Amino acid sequence: MNQRIVEVKNPHGLHARPAALFVQKAASFPGKIVVEKGGKEADAKSILGIMSMGIECGDTITLKGEGDQIEPVFDALEAIAQDTSL
**Which pTM was predicted?**
0.94
Across the chain, mean pLDDT equals 95
Residues 20-36 pLDDT 10s: 999 999 999 999 999 99
User: Which one from 12, 15, 36, 49 is the annotated catalytic residue?
Assistant: 15
Whether 15 sits among the annotated catalytic residues: the reply is yes
Residues 37-59 pLDDT 10s: 999 999 999 999 999 999 999 99
Q: Residue 73 CA to chain centroid, in angstroms?
A: 10
* Rounded CA separation 35/62 (Å): 6
Domains of the chain: 2-82 (3.30.1340.10)
Read off φ and ψ for residue 68, nearest 5 degrees: -65, -35
* Rounded CA separation 15/53 (Å): 10
